[in-house]
A and B are shown apart, each in its own frame.
Chain A
Amino acid sequence: MKKLIIAIVAVALLSLTGCDDQDARDYANELVGVLKSYQVEVNKKIVAEKKSYKDLAGTHAYARDVNLLTGLNTERLSRADSLTDALIGGEKLTPSDMHKLLLDYANHDFEATREMFERESDGQAEYLASLESLNLQADNIAQLTKALEALGKPKGALKRLKELKAAAEEFKTKFDDLQCEELAEQIACLKDEIAAISKGATTLTNEQKAQKEKLEAQLKPLEELATECKADILKNAKCPDKKG
């Protein structure tokens, strides 16, 4: 009787969990298909929206620049006309009066053009911000698809978790080292460049100084990124150009 009870319980457990799991897997696999179609549609929508936003943003940015530069041109002419009228009308202006007028315009021009110069290279960033929500939706779909794909697989692989962990860690270590090697090569190249500028020169020309500063500016962020790399990787790195 005891054996019978154990057998019944075992069968009940297996059938309950097993059947339910199979249904869930089938359901998840169906959902993956639906989501993939949806993902394709959302991606198409993103491409279309992006093009539309970019075209509009480009036109708006161009119009703003033209408006600003035309306005400044008109302002210069207007100020020059007023000064001419004053002079023809017999008004006496000292050099320092003129100097003040020029400084005033220079400051006006500086403030007006600053915004234009500061604007993002493509002038479209602000318009593209609204694309973020669409991209987010696409990311969510992608994540959901992955999750469902995982659910759609038998759970047997979970047993290998320890083995998976070891494999993943081994993978990560190698991957990090490869990244560090590449970073170290870039740093080595930039250092070689900087050394080449200073080599044999007692004093640097302005052009050389500017070039050196540019390279040092490039080097700084790379060195910051390399702080977590192994010391021997950084030490042994050579610029690929100079590798035998």
Chain B
Amino acid sequence: MKMRKSVIFTLSAVLVATSIPQAGQAQRLYNKERDDQAQAALPLAKSLKSGELFDKQLKNFASLVKKDFETEFLVTKFQIDALTLGVLTWQTANAQVCDIEKRDAAGLVPTESEIKNALDQLKTSIADAQTALDAFKKSIKAKGVNNEKEEEKDDRSVLGNLFAGLGELDSLQDFLEQVQKAKPKSVDAKTLESLQQVQDVAAILKKVYDAYKAKVDEFNKLEDQLGELRLVLKTVAIQSLQVDEDHWKNIAAIRARREIERAETLRLINQYKGIVARLGVVDYPSTDPVKKNLTFCTIAENAKDTSDGFRIWPDQMITVHLQELVELGQLMEENNRLIEDAAQRALKQMQATTSESDRIAAGAQTLKALENAMEGIDDAHQIHRFKPEIRAQLEVDSKNLDNAVKSSKEASEAALQSIIVNARKNGVKIRDMVGDIPQMLFIVAALIARGSTPTRLADLRLVQELHAYSIRKSAVRARAYELTVSTGVQRLALFHAGGIKPTDVAELVFAASNIAITPAILAR
């Protein structure tokens, strides 16, 4: 009976002990040996949690990026603060603009066929990269020596979903479209250079996809125990490819972005050149056959030693030029007003005329006003291209009126009406003429404020991208390691027992995460 009691007690105790639920575990009895082993494995398990480390690295990197940018902007700010009165001479203004052009927008405008060829080559390279990526995806889905089997069922393919984000070559495509839409003057030799760089990136991506495909083809041949690693290796390969693809797409995006921002600088430089040409400061584009192919900056630099029209430049203050222009503008504006007033009065008088002598008398004041205006222009310095244009218009108006008064009343009225209309048009032109220098000065200010910032920032972004790439690549490798060791640790031990060394497995996994060519070498 005593024995029976103790049996019942023991059985009850066992039943109670085994029925107490333990969170996250199947019911089991305590095993000291296993516990010791588990405790020994704990530090190893902790060392696998690298996520925080890379998060920290990326955060540190973000602060570094911020500081780098601040330094770059300090340089630009310093350039603005260092802006002295010296910028108000033509020589300095041209030098400032040419300096930016040399760094940011050098070279002649390429021909349409050159642009088309470059765009066609880029299109081909993007298509080639996409074809190579499709081949990689096919290889991922397959297995076996000749890729004849299927790795996973399509409806539950985790691998298939992993690479769904691959191959979005939109940054390359966007750049292509931007250049296609650009106005011819926004495309220069540097744009062609950028097109070539983006095409290089597309070609590198193709090589990267090919290299990954070749490696995955090798994984597909793995059999027996190593065959169990295939899915892990493919997952690592896809994650690693994603990092490589992002890296090259980022490089292409940085270059494309620099090109887009540079286009705005190029637009400002073109505006500056247009104004300077109107002001007759630089003979550009030159009508002289010898200078026909010279750049704006070459002509501007050499103009000092040659007789290049009226020598208001290069050492004269722009403000003196502006003052002369304002005085000329005021004089022309006054003469323009006198012409219009005289023409308005003549138009009224013309209605009452009955003979040629009446018409000549009615138009005399207008002709005199036109003659005075032309004399005023002739006496002034040649300081703006609008001046001879307006002078030519006045001469045409004068001749037309002179002929009209000798012809008929209707012709005279038409000529006077045309003079009034032209006077109003000239009023706008005179104002634009005076406004050219203030507009040019603000363009120079904008160019100094932006300067070569886009180019310098692009250089900085490229260096930062290399740094970020090395962090991301390390993170993928750490994940590859975690994936293999923490989830495949049992297999790892099996390989060990079966004669396959963990170092061999490490080489396989490392190879899966390191297929692309080293970026630091390629980027040079």
Among the stretches B153-161, B285-293, B364-372, the one at the interface with A is: B153-161
**Are B521 and A186 touching (Cβ within 8 A)?**
yes
Within 8 A of A (CB), among B1-46: 3, 6-7, 10-11, 14-15, 18, 26-29, 34, 37-38, 40-41, 44
Which residue of the partner chain, among B88, B450, B489, contacts A113 with CB atoms under 8 Å?
A: B450
Closest to B156 in A: A36
Q: Does residue B277 face the partner (Cβ distance < 8 Å to A)?
A: no
**Are B18 and A17 touching (Cβ within 8 A)?**
yes
The interface residues of chain A, by DSSP majority, are classed as helix
Within 8 A of A (CB), among B455-497: 457, 459, 461, 463, 466-467, 470, 474, 477, 481, 484-485, 487, 489-490, 492-493, 495-497
Which residue of the partner chain, among A77, A88, A99, A189, contacts B326 with CB atoms under 8 Å?
A: A88
**Are A43 and B481 touching (Cβ within 8 A)?**
no
Which residue of the partner chain, among B85, B155, B158, B507, contacts A178 with CB atoms under 8 Å?
A: B507
Q: A13-B29, A157-B490 are in contact. Are A186 and B477 (CB under 8 A)?
A: no
Compute how far the CA of A225 lies from the CA of B61 in the bound complex, rounded to whole angstroms. 13
Within 8 A of A (CB), among B284-340: 317, 319, 322, 326, 329-330, 333
Q: Does residue B253 face the partner (Cβ distance < 8 Å to A)?
A: yes
Q: A83-B438, A98-B441 are in contact. Are A40 and B156 (CB under 8 A)?
A: yes
**Are B14 and A225 touching (Cβ within 8 A)?**
no
**Are A107 and B158 touching (Cβ within 8 A)?**
no
Q: Does residue B73 face the partner (Cβ distance < 8 Å to A)?
A: yes
Chain A interface residues (CB < 8 Å from chain B): 1, 5, 8-9, 12-13, 16-17, 20-21, 24, 33, 36-37, 39-40, 43-44, 46-47, 50-51, 54, 58, 69, 72, 76-77, 79-81, 83-84, 87-88, 93-96, 98-99, 101-103, 105-107, 109-110, 113-114, 117-118, 121-122, 146, 149-150, 153, 155, 157-172, 174-175, 178-179, 182, 185-186, 189-190, 193, 214-215, 217-218, 221-222, 225, 239-241
Chain B residues near A98 (CB, 8 Å)?
Answer: 88, 319, 441
**Are A8 and B11 touching (Cβ within 8 A)?**
yes
Whole-angstrom distance between the Cβ of A191 and the nearest chain B Cβ: 11
Compute how far the CA of A99 lies from the CA of B250 in the bound complex, rounded to whole angstroms. 41
**Are A8 and B158 touching (Cβ within 8 A)?**
no
Q: Does residue B389 face the partner (Cβ distance < 8 Å to A)?
A: no
Which residue of the partner chain, among A79, A94, A179, contacts B477 with CB atoms under 8 Å?
A: A179
Closest to B61 in A: A221
Q: A40-B155, A40-B158, A175-B510 are in contact. Are A165 and B41 (CB under 8 A)?
A: yes
Q: Does residue B95 face the partner (Cβ distance < 8 Å to A)?
A: no
Compute how far the CA of A102 lies from the CA of B41 in the bound complex, rounded to whole angstroms. 69
Task: Pull 12 A–B residue pairs with CB atoms less than 8 Å apart, ordered by A.
Answer: A76-B439, A81-B438, A88-B333, A95-B85, A105-B446, A113-B450, A164-B493, A166-B496, A171-B485, A172-B506, A239-B521, A241-B521
Among the stretches B120-128, B164-172, B390-398, the one at the interface with A is: B164-172
**Are A110 and B466 touching (Cβ within 8 A)?**
no
Q: Does residue B133 face the partner (Cβ distance < 8 Å to A)?
A: no
**Are B501 and A170 touching (Cβ within 8 A)?**
yes
**Are A87 and B326 touching (Cβ within 8 A)?**
yes
Whole-angstrom distance between the Cβ of B174 and the nearest chain A Cβ: 8
Chain A residues near B523 (CB, 8 Å)?
Answer: 218
Chain A residues near B326 (CB, 8 Å)?
Answer: 87-88
6 shortest A-B CB distances, which residue pairs? A43-B161, A174-B506, A109-B449, A171-B502, A161-B37, A80-B438
Q: A88-B333, A117-B457, A171-B505 are in contact. Are A153 and B490 (CB under 8 A)?
A: yes
17 further interface pairs, Cβ-Cβ under 8 Å (given A113-B453, A168-B502): A9-B14, A16-B14, A16-B27, A39-B161, A44-B164, A79-B438, A84-B435, A99-B84, A103-B80, A106-B446, A107-B80, A161-B37, A167-B492, A174-B506, A189-B518, A218-B467, A221-B466
Chain B interface residues (CB < 8 Å from chain A): 3, 6-7, 10-11, 14-15, 18, 26-29, 34, 37-38, 40-41, 44, 47, 69, 73, 76-77, 80, 83-85, 87-88, 155-158, 161-162, 164-165, 168, 170-171, 174, 250, 253-254, 257, 261, 264, 317, 319, 322, 326, 329-330, 333, 431, 434-435, 438-439, 441-446, 448-450, 453-454, 457, 459, 461, 463, 466-467, 470, 474, 477, 481, 484-485, 487, 489-490, 492-493, 495-497, 501-503, 505-507, 509-510, 514, 518, 520-521, 523-524
Chain B residues near A24 (CB, 8 Å)?
Answer: 26
**Are B496 and A167 touching (Cβ within 8 A)?**
yes
Whole-angstrom distance between the Cβ of A147 and the nearest chain B Cβ: 9
Closest to B435 in A: A84
Q: A95-B317, A167-B493, A240-B521 are in contact. Are A84 and B11 (CB under 8 A)?
A: no
**Are B253 and A99 touching (Cβ within 8 A)?**
no
Whole-angstrom distance between the Cβ of A222 and the nearest chain B Cβ: 7
Closest to A58 in B: B174
Chain B residues near A1 (CB, 8 Å)?
Answer: 3
Whole-angstrom distance between the Cβ of B7 and the nearest chain A Cβ: 5
Compute how far the CA of A76 lies from the CA of B457 in the bound complex, rounded to whole angstroms. 24
Compute how far the CA of A77 lies from the CA of B432 in the bound complex, rounded to whole angstroms. 11
Whole-angstrom distance between the Cβ of A124 and the nearest chain B Cβ: 10
**Are A165 and B10 touching (Cβ within 8 A)?**
no
Chain B residues near A158 (CB, 8 Å)?
Answer: 34, 37
Compute how far the CA of A218 lies from the CA of B493 in the bound complex, rounded to whole angstroms. 40
Compute how far the CA of A110 lies from the CA of B69 in the bound complex, rounded to whole angstroms. 14
Whole-angstrom distance between the Cβ of B80 and the nearest chain A Cβ: 5
**Are B170 and A13 touching (Cβ within 8 A)?**
no
Whole-angstrom distance between the Cβ of B517 and the nearest chain A Cβ: 9
**Are B506 and A171 touching (Cβ within 8 A)?**
yes
**Are B171 and A122 touching (Cβ within 8 A)?**
yes
**Are B253 and A17 touching (Cβ within 8 A)?**
no
Q: A117-B457, A170-B501, A225-B470 are in contact. Are A164 and B490 (CB under 8 A)?
A: yes
**Are A88 and B493 touching (Cβ within 8 A)?**
no
Most chain A CB inside 10 Å of its own CB: which residue of B6, B76, B495? B76
Compute how far the CA of A93 lies from the CA of B438 in the bound complex, rounded to whole angstroms. 12
Compute how far the CA of A153 lies from the CA of B26 in the bound complex, rounded to whole angstroms. 12
Chain A residues near B165 (CB, 8 Å)?
Answer: 46-47, 50
Chain B residues near A174 (CB, 8 Å)?
Answer: 502-503, 506-507
Q: A88-B431, A175-B506, A182-B518 are in contact. Are A77 and B490 (CB under 8 A)?
A: no
Chain A residues near B14 (CB, 8 Å)?
Answer: 9, 12-13, 16
Compute how far the CA of A164 lies from the CA of B157 in the bound complex, rounded to whole angstroms. 29
Which residue of the partner chain, among B10, B76, B155, B319, contacts A5 with CB atoms under 8 Å?
A: B10
**Are B254 and A12 touching (Cβ within 8 A)?**
no
Which residue of the partner chain, among B3, B162, B329, B485, contacts A168 with CB atoms under 8 Å?
A: B485
Closest to A24 in B: B26
Compute how far the CA of A241 lies from the CA of B506 in the bound complex, rounded to whole angstroms. 25
Compute how far the CA of A195 lies from the CA of B437 in the bound complex, rounded to whole angstroms. 50
